[in-house]
């Protein structure tokens, strides 16, 4: 099997856009959560979000942007940043040797909402002919492929909050099998809309800490009360090792393992004791050929919801046994909010940067430990610590789980 490395990253997040800004945001313990500004949220119980304010015209022709949903624009910016970070020009990736595999948990929700209003107020004959090709979830991957001439393997993953990790895992396997030298991969999401926020609020899934937005996302604490919606993208470049070495690429980390599973239990609740999550972790470790004791850091799914944080902690204890108490575990969602289909990809970037630079991101807002959750969650401040292997967890509605394992590259 071919070896696969990460050679470029393009994070578009509420705490920073681009590799350096995202890294600095992590290390400084920045929160990207604030009052929601995109629409009047006064009638719902959660009025906070992790917004990303961008001038898309810096990266996308304004005429083309009119035919893209916001999640696609996020992906396009992320791809441009990742390719630049990897030192790859358009002529380097155009052709059959490079592909695109970018997922979205929900897809073009903004376009869907606008079309729904048009349908109700003006009728079906007034809906834009661009509605469908703007809204469908595969268009992030498709538009990136069109922009850069990527004619290799192309696909889309849609597994809710496990999407970003699943896309990277599938792209990893494509390169392992020798079907491509380069894959532009990751996830993108732009779900801070009235329909989405209203739906999650009705489920009582969102934090209602509206008076303290920056402290609202607080994974693994006793006072956690729900997740905070975020938006953005995590696009990264995976490359076959020999191909990367031949061109003198900088390498962030090696991708060595990927595991998936299904809870087969409930639409939204995790399986008792995190059984499905534990299975995905074990499969990722087996895929990597790594023993549990070799993992030094876990970027947790860590949504700040009562059920998820408990189930994930139980799953970690089940998989790692006595080593669980020695693990460094953190949730970067404490800083960014939950980016849904982009979350796993952004967190994969955080793992790779942690391995590369020897600094582990913190779980901010860790002020009141939950006595049931007793692992080392890297409270409040980034930690200088070099580890050899890192794991990234992503768990989703529908009980779909995806776990990645990364190795420090030296």
The set of catalytic residues is 161
Six token digits for residue 27: 């290390």
Selection from 369, 161, 409, 378 nearest residue 280 by Cα: 161
State whether the Cα torsion 284-269-342-310 is positive or negative.
Answer: negative
State the DSSP string of 286-348: HHHT--GGGEEEEE----S-HHHHHHHHHHHHHHHGGGGGG-EEE-THHHH-B-GGGHHHHHH
Question: Which residues partner with 406 through β-bridges?
Answer: 255, 390
Which residues, other chains included, contact 203 with Cβ-Cβ below 8 Å and sequence gap of 6+?
A: 268
Task: Say how far apart CA 373 and CA 198 lie, in whole Å.
Answer: 30
Question: Do 402 and 169 meet the contact criterion of CB atoms below 8 Å apart?
Answer: yes
Ordered alpha helix ranges (H), 149-274 = 163-176, 194-202, 241-246
Which residues, other chains included, contact 342 with Cβ-Cβ below 8 Å and sequence gap of 6+?
A: 74, 104, 105, 163, 164, 186, 187, 188, 189, 231, 232, 233, 234
- The secondary structure of residue 220, as a DSSP letter, is T
- The secondary structure of residue 56, as a DSSP letter, is G
Task: Say how far apart CA 289 and CA 255 lie, in whole Å.
Answer: 12
Cα→Cα distances 147→108, 129, 130, 132, 250, Å = 19, 21, 18, 19, 24
């Amino acid at each position: 099997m071919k070896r696969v490395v990460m050679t470029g990253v393009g994070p578009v997040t509420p705490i920073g856009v681009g590799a350096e800004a995202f890294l600095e945001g992590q290390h400084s313990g920045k929160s990207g959560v604030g009052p929601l500004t995109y629409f009047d949220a006064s009638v719902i119980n959660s009025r906070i979000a992790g917004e990303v304010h961008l001038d898309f015209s810096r990266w996308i022709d304004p005429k083309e942007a009119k035919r893209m949903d916001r999640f696609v624009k996020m992906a396009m910016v992320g791809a441009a940043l990742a390719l630049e970070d990897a030192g790859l020009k358009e002529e380097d990736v155009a052709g059959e040797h490079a592909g695109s595999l970018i997922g979205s948990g929900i897809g073009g929700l903004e376009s869907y909402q606008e079309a729904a209003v048009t349908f109700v107020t003006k009728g079906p004959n007034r809906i834009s002919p661009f509605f469908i090709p703007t809204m469908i979830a595969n268009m992030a991957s498709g538009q990136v492929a069109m922009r850069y001439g990527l004619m290799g393997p192309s696909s889309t993953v849609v597994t809710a909050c496990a999407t970003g990790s699943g896309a990277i895992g599938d792209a990893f396997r494509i390169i392992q099998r020798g079907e491509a030298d380069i894959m532009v991969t990751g996830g993108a999401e732009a779900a801070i809309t009235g329909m989405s926020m209203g739906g999650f609020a009705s489920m009582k899934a969102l934090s209602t800490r509206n008076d303290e937005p920056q402290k609202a996302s607080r994974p693994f604490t006793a006072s956690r009360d729900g997740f905070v919606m975020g938006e953005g993208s995590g696009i990264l470049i995976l490359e076959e090792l020999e191909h990367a070495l031949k061109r003198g690429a900088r390498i962030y980390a090696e991708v060595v393992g990927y595991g998936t599973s299904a809870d087969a239990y409930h639409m939204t609740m995790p399986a008792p004791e995190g059984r499905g999550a534990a299975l995905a972790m074990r499969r990722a470790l087996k895929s990597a050929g790594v023993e549990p004791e070799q993992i030094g850091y876990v970027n947790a799914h860590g949504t700040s919801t009562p059920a998820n944080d408990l189930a994930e902690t139980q799953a970690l204890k089940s998989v790692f046994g006595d080593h669980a108490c020695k693990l460094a575990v953190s949730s970067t969602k404490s800083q960014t909010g939950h980016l849904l289909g982009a979350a796993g990809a952004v967190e994969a970037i955080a793992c790779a940067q942690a391995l590369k630079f020897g600094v582990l991101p913190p779980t901010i807002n860790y002020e009141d430990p939950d006595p049931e959750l007793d692992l080392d969650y890297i409270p409040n401040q980034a930690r200088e610590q070099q580890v050899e292997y890192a794991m990234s967890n992503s768990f989703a509605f529908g009980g779909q789980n995806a776990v990645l394992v990364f190795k420090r590259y030296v």
